[in-house]
Amino acid sequence: MKSISTLALATAVSSLALTAAADTKIGMITTLSGGGAGLGVDVRDGFMLALEQAGRDDVEVVIEDDQRKPESAVQIADRMIQSEKVDIMTGIIWSNLAMAVVPAATAQGVFYLSPNAGPSALAGARCHPNYFNVAWQNDNLHEAAGAYANDAALKNSYILAPNYPAGKDALTGYKRMYSGELAGETYTKLGQTDYAAEIAQIRASGADSVYFFLPGGMGISFLKQYADSGVDLPVVGPAFSFDQGILQAVGGAALGIKNTSQWNKDLDNTANTAFVAAFQQKYERLPSLYASQGYDTANLILSALDKADVSDADAFRDALREADFASVRGDFAFGQNQHPVQNIYVREVIQEGDVFTNKIIATGLENHADAYAADCKM
């Protein structure tokens, strides 16, 4: 059994970029296999790029694949905290996995920095001094889309999302800001791949626009079928369906569609320009939203480590709160519930040569915080 635990350690060490004698140990649990692995791969690559650039040898990262299963994520977290004694955790992509892991991790004194998921409970009533969200609260991008719909004088939206909690949050977020009428509201099956029925309803509903939240493969299917249906109402969506990783699979069907995001590769600041170039050079592909979030998360940790040792939890927490790092988003600050206060932009899908990508056309919401901060007693 002894050999087993040494082997576990050996395999963990083999997955590091940085070497031993580490003072700070970071555990990354993310999705690296099965459907949805693309998101985890991007977060990991962005994160590791930042660490590599910093060239520090006192930070060790242990990376594990959660297979997108909450049970696996919980067990990996237990192991990282109990056996490997990590100080900081990060990496989780999906809200349901975050809800399973984060409360227990923070309760055991570990810091958790979310590079992607932002469930409302963790922003509100269940907020925690050791929990920081470096991406967004789940509703944010949808709220920006609702605000954009008002600006674009859209008055009768048809909205749809999968029938699961994040889907309901998405439509709630959109409706929170949107002031027009609803031509219809549909919850589709999670993992659904054919949207002919919904598109027929959209056509029959007399809507003047469509808002949809269908992450991953669901969004690809919807967009291709929508483009082929001849319905030509304007479509708005959050960045998740228009991300660099999947845009090539959607192809021309996405051209011209407006989507909301807190980041884009054409954001004009030095940190971002350097990030996009370095990422392309190292991984030979354009960075995605997720990669930018992973990169920011790593840089935030590094900035705090420069000011305080992680073993001094209070000082380290204060250093994190200051968010004193060069974010690829430009201005970045934490609100009172340790969630971002940031600009959310409206992007349009364009084609550059053979590559489909986004460009920013407007600012949807400025210095936007989330709606749950008031419930957070910290």
Partner 1 sequence: MIRREQMCNAAVILLLLAIPLWAHSADAPFVITLATKVTILALAGVGLNIALGIGGLVSLGHAVFFGIGGYATGILASHAQTYEPLLQAPFVIEGTNQMPIIWLVAVVFSALAALVIGALSLRTSGVYFIMITLAFGQMFYYFAISWSAYGGEDGLSIWVRNEFPGANTLVPLHFFLICFAILCAVLWFAARLARAPFGLALAAARQNQDRVEAVGITPYRLRLVAFVVSGAITGLAGALFADLNRFVSPSMLSWHTSGEIMIFVIIGGVGRLFGPVVGAAIFILLEHFLGGISEYWQIYLGGFLLVIVLYARGGVIGALAGREVAHD
Partner 2 sequence: MSLILVLEQILNGLQFGVMLFLMAAGLTLVFGVMGLINLAHGALYMVGAFAAAIVASWTGSFVLALAASLMAAATAGALMEILVIRKLYDRDHLDQVLATFALILVFSEGTRWVFGSFPLFLDVPPYLSGPVTLPGGIEYPLYRLAIIAIGLVIALGLFWLISRTRIGVQIRAGEADREMIAALGVDISRLYTLVFALGAALAGLAGALVGAIQSVQVGMGEPVLILAFVVIVIGGIGSIKGALVGALLVGLTDRLGSIFLPQIFALVMEPSSATTAGASVASMLIYILMALILLLRPSGLYGRSA
Distance CA 126, CA 326 (A): 29
For 310, the 3-state DSSP assignment is: coil
Residues 144-163: x where in contact with partner 2 by CB under 8 A, - otherwise, as a string: -------------------x
Q: How near is the Cβ of 35 to partner 1 at its closest, in Å?
A: 12
Distance CA 371, CA 364 (A): 16
Residue 201 token pair: 């309803």
Decide if residue 108 touches partner 1 (CB under 8 A): no
Decide if residue 165 touches partner 1 (CB under 8 A): yes
Nearest to 193 by CA among 214, 212, 218: 218
Q: How near is the Cβ of 63 to partner 2 at its closest, in Å?
A: 15
Applying CB under 8 A, among 61, 100, 235, 376 the residue interacting with partner 1 is: 100
Decide if residue 36 touches partner 1 (CB under 8 A): no
Q: Which helix (H) or strand (E) holds 159?
A: strand 156-162
Decide if residue 103 touches partner 1 (CB under 8 A): yes
Decide if residue 69 touches partner 2 (CB under 8 A): no
Decide if residue 355 touches partner 1 (CB under 8 A): no
Kindly tell me which of 194 and 324 has the beta carbon lying closer to partner 2.
194
Decide if residue 25 touches partner 1 (CB under 8 A): no
Nearest to 305 by CA among 44, 50, 45: 50
Q: How near is the Cβ of 308 to partner 1 at its closest, in Å?
A: 28
Residue 245 token pair: 């990783």
Applying CB under 8 A, among 17, 19, 33, 108 the residue interacting with partner 1 is: 33
Per rule CB under 8 A, count of chain residues that contact partner 1: 38
Please state the φ and ψ torsions of residue 89, each to the nearest 5 degrees.
Answer: -125, 155
Distance CA 353, CA 356 (A): 8
Q: How many CB atoms lie within 10 A of CB 323?
A: 21
Q: Which does 5 bind (CB under 5 to 8 A by kind): partner 1, partner 2, none?
A: partner 1
Q: Distance from CA of residue 349 to its chain's centroid?
A: 19
Q: How near is the Cβ of 326 to partner 1 at its closest, in Å?
A: 31
Q: Which strand ranges, in their side-by-side order, compose the sheet holding 59-65?
A: 59-65, 24-30, 88-90, 111-114, 131-133
- Give contact residues for partner 1 (rule: CB under 8 A): 1-2, 4-5, 7-8, 11-12, 14-15, 32-33, 64-65, 69-71, 74-75, 78-79, 82-83, 95-96, 99-100, 103-104, 107, 119, 163-166, 168, 189-190
